[in-house]
Amino acid sequence: MAELHQTPASLCCCRKSLPVSGARCVGDSSQPSACPGPGAPRCPLIDVASASNFRCFQLRHFHLDLRLNFAVKEMSGWLVLDLVSVQPGIHTLILDSHSSLLIHSIDCKVPGSGQEEPVSLTYRVDPFTDYGSTLNISLPTSAVKPGQLIQITVRYTTTDGPAIWWLDSELTCGQSRPLVFTQGHSVCNRSFFPCFDTPAVKSTYSATVRVPDGVTVLMSASRSSYSKQDRVFQFSMEFPVPSYLVALVAGELQHVDVGPRSRLWAEPCLLSCAVKKLGGSVERWLGVAEELFGPYLWGRCDIVFLPPSFPIVAMENPCLTFIIASILESSEFLLIDVIHEIAHGWFGNAVTNATWEEMWLSEGLATYAQRRITTEAYGETFTCLETVVRLDALHRQLRLLGDNNPVSKLQVKFEPGVNPSTLMNLFTYEKGFCFVSYLSQVCGDYRRFDGFLRDYIAQFKFKSVVAQDLIDYFLCYFPELKDAAVAQREGLEFERWLNGCGPPLCEPDLSAGGALIQPVQDLCDLWRTGTPPDLQSLMSFDLSAWSTFQIVLFLDRMLDHSPLPHDVMLSLSSCYSSLFDGLNAEIQIRWLQMVVRNTFHPDLPRVRAFLHKHTSRMYTVPLYEDLVAGVMKCVAVEIFYQTQRRLHPNLRRTLQQILFQTTATPTNQNGLTLSVMPPSPSSSPSTSAQVPPPATTATASTAAATSAGTTAAIALRDVNVSA
């Protein structure tokens, strides 16, 4: 058993998990027979982020038939739901929807009943939260009987909803044709189509998409076909998925096959770069993952690279991962991001958290799986270095939030109305990883734990689970640990892991990464003395030979000690800034954050050049936040006015809020900010420029969790960012 490094943790508002019992365990024949499994009885599942009555129906399948209109930025068509009532006396179907959806009509049909014409239904749209509404559909009493299939058809048009991102040609990489993509995580797809928008519900789906000539459509589907004559794309997802994993992208896209089951898609100007960066690596990583966790269940493992306007780094849509093109220049980050999304093929997509309050079941397990893959493919030293970078970011965020902040729990209790996307943070990834890593250590052999994870996937595949399912299955799988009461081990109780605030109760031993990590710490120590180190002492540190993660760790730790004396910054710039100019954006942004936080004017032109070049959220927001927090707000406003035409409107609104920190900003008919100076400290609210308020959150500390610590935010990959 690896050494455990315990850290203190405080308990706060513990909440019991849902009980699970019954069913049989699969896998090792020596396992006891009374193990929890899919379909085992439990208390009714509650998802406060969904207004739907999903517990009253079984969703067998749904079909989308859509026409894309780029000129008016609309999708129009219909949705067909195949539903079976599972409870008697149900007369209303309640779906999650959004105020941006224009509902035209709804009708009902009972297949096999002899009914020739569908019955028109009455419906009502009610408010729910700021991220959705409720679509209440009255059902005919004669049609709704337990066990009987009914088909509900909803005709609708999308407008400007949070799930659908229309890009004018100027915002694409090639700048020749417009592009549209959807982003459903966590609760956005209710603005794409009415649905049971909860991860607790999974179903198969199909789609027909009609587009103008020259447009290629891709979806997160296992099968597809195209009729060139009719300009119609057909899709079918034969495996059940939750609503948030239904995704679409359409534009000028081309592909190259890079493996027997993997294909890279991108705009023509990006494709060769993507192929050069990834090549045959995808198939290699898939093979390693299959050796560890069992067969890849989704058939295809394609990747599409999207323009910088994509609001997150990557999204694990099954069969078709979405990745921001900006990450292509950072090879090590690209590697980690793609492997993480591949890991979601098992953890998150095949077995899904049943509620957003337990996102760690997806992200924590996927992060653990990602690190098992990189350990097998690239060695333990590399994996330990990457893990140290992330755990540093976790502790940085904890210092900002405090150990007693409830957002640091693995099981976060959502208040009604809180958008789950606003509560995505490093804890779901890294504290979740530490808990899973602890489970692997207490069973004594990580290879044994690999076997457990293989059987866990086999048992629960295509199901949605709660934490208690995982824990009960773990204790069933390792009866000796159950007999030893490992779940109640003092100071490391499972209940405390799940419901306690603060840092992980223990962290894995990362000493195997010492050969890469120790030189970084030694260099940090040289620069932290308060005076510039002599050049002789720096001779043994050749940063040009360091990996990206080593330099990132060095800059992150130096950022932790900012502000630095001016002569130290002068010496740092003299030694490294020219080197950093030729390295990737993950390194450059950290150096530029040091420049801004230390008000180091000689390197300010580098900040300007970076923000003129990069238009993605992950590279702009942290720098703008730092500029505004210091004495360089006027510089930030000037750069914003110069670059706003190249920013997506959603990012533009975010930056307006950062710059002007009020409720509305004057814009012209194109949504561009008019040239007004930011308010001075003495300006009254009535004369200050204003922007829309931030998304509602449960508490002030929750809001802090989503924005505190820009360095921590950079380290957090594939996390949904609210527009």
Q: Which residues sit in the known binding site for Zn(2+)?
A: 340, 344, 363
Distance CA 258, CA 99 (A): 41
Place of tokens 């590399």: 382
User: What is the four-CA torsion angle of 98, 99, 100, 106, rounded to 10 degrees?
Assistant: 70
290 is catalytic: no
Q: Name 673's Cβ contacts closer than 8 Å, sequence gap at least 6.
A: 640, 641, 644, 652, 656, 665, 666, 667
Contact in structure between 643 and 612 (CB atoms under 8 Å)? yes
b/e 440-451 (16+ beta carbons within 10 angstroms → b)? bbbbeeeeebbb
Alpha carbon separation from 498 to 126, 476, 585, 706 (Å, rounded): 35, 19, 35, 20
Q: Which two tokens stand for residue 319?
A: 């069969």
Q: Which two tokens stand for residue 161?
A: 């909803």
Cα 263 to chain centroid, rounded: 22
490 is catalytic: no
Distance CA 670, CA 88 (A): 52
Contact in structure between 121 and 153 (CB atoms under 8 Å)? no
Phi and psi at residue 359, in whole multiples of 5°? -60, -25
Q: What secondary structure letter does DSSP report for 317? A: -
Number of residues that this document lists for the chain = 723
Catalytic, out of 341, 386, 493, 586? 341
User: What is the four-CA torsion angle of 15, 19, 24, 26, rounded to 10 degrees?
Assistant: -10
Alpha carbon separation from 292 to 358, 391, 444, 454 (Å, rounded): 24, 24, 17, 7
Residue 249 half-sphere exposure toward CB, CA atoms < 13 A: 26
Angle at 425 between CA 705 and CA 429, to 5 degrees: 150
Q: What is the DSSP pairing of strand 132-138 with strand 123-129?
A: antiparallel
| E-assigned strand segments in 385-491 | 463-465
- β-strand partners of 314: 323
Catalytic, out of 244, 429, 473, 619? 429
Distance CA 344, CA 350 (A): 8
Contact in structure between 555 and 587 (CB atoms under 8 Å)? yes
Distance CA 418, CA 698 (A): 6
Binding-site residues from annotation: 340, 344, 363
- Name the residue among 472, 367, 487, 510 with its Cα closest to residue 428: 367
Q: Containing H/E element for 472? A: helix 467-477
Q: What secondary structure letter does DSSP report for 190? A: G
- β-strand partners of 498: none
Three-state DSSP class for residue 179: strand
- Name the residue among 416, 409, 400 with its Cα closest to residue 705: 400
Active site residues: 341, 429
